[in-house]
Amino acid sequence: METDFSTFEEALYLDSKKAFKQILADLGDDIYVIGFYHSGSCSFLPMFNTHTDFQSTFEDEYDCEEDDRLLAKWNVSDFPSLEDYSEYFEHSSEILQTLDNDDSYEIVSDEEIQKYWQAWLSTLERVLIRLDNEGIFSEGVERNSITLAILAYDETEDEQFSRIKRMNPPAVLATIETDFETMIASRNEAEQLAMAEFERMLQER
């Protein structure tokens, strides 16, 4: 049976509308990315980062190493805590808990897991697009300075950027394209090196 996310989607839309309005009112143009982090299964975390927090993290945690700049900028585990805004998501979190406890939606196959995963990400994406179409991410800030994103657990930068491109105008994409192209190329190079090393080890057996 397919999971029906419609009730949760509407609740998340209403909760997010209030929360993101407050976040933007509090932090304004210091924000450069906002959206959701999907950490797997039935879960979500609203997320954002600011230029100020990025610079502080880059200096304190990465010692200003240029090779780590993009990691500091886009690694969601280095983003600010959202505890101050968790109260805005109580309703959608309650509905989410109900979905998570519903045994009728038990997933048993890899195909079902993948289908569920994509349906969940699509739900988060629709909420952000709906809010953006209503101008929420343009209230008191320059829309083209903010990237809407869903950063999902265990996804590659290529997969993340494909989704980002669907949610943002060309002016935003122009400012972040080099970042993601660099991260994608770096991952591809690392995977190729790992594969070459694996093949070398097989040949030496």
Q: pLDDT tens across 138-169, in order?
A: 999 999 999 999 998 778 999 999 999 999 99
Range of the domain at 131: 6-203
Angstrom distance (rounded) from CA 68 to CA 80:
18
Question: 5 in helix, strand or coil?
Answer: coil
The number of domains in the chain is 1
Q: Average the pLDDT over 55-73 and give the result.
A: 94
1 lies in some domain: no
- CA 178 to CA 56: how far, in whole Å? 22
Residue 84 has pLDDT above 60, yes or no: yes
Give the whole-angstrom CA distance, residue 167 versus residue 129: 6
Res 59 pLDDT > 90: yes
pTM of the model: 0.88
Average pLDDT over residues 64-77: 93
Asked if the structure places residue 14 within a domain, the reply is: yes
pLDDT at 24: 95
**Residue 172, SS3 per DSSP:** helix
Tell me, yes or no, whether 141 lies in a domain: yes
Of 190 and 15, more confident: 15
At residue 136 the predicted structure's pLDDT band, cuts being 50, 70 and 90, is: very high
Which of 25 and 1 is assigned the larger pLDDT?
25
The pLDDT score that the predictor gives to residue 101 is 64
More confident residue, 10 or 98: 10
pLDDT above 60: residue 1 = no
Average pLDDT over every residue of 43-61 = 91
pLDDT digits (tens, 9 = 90+) for 106-115: 556 778 777 8
**Residue 74 to residue 59: CA distance in whole angstroms:** 15
Mean pLDDT (the chain) is 88
What is residue 119's predicted lDDT score, i.e. its pLDDT? 86
* Residue 105: pLDDT over 90: no
Spell out the alpha helix ranges (H) of 88-155: 90-100, 110-133
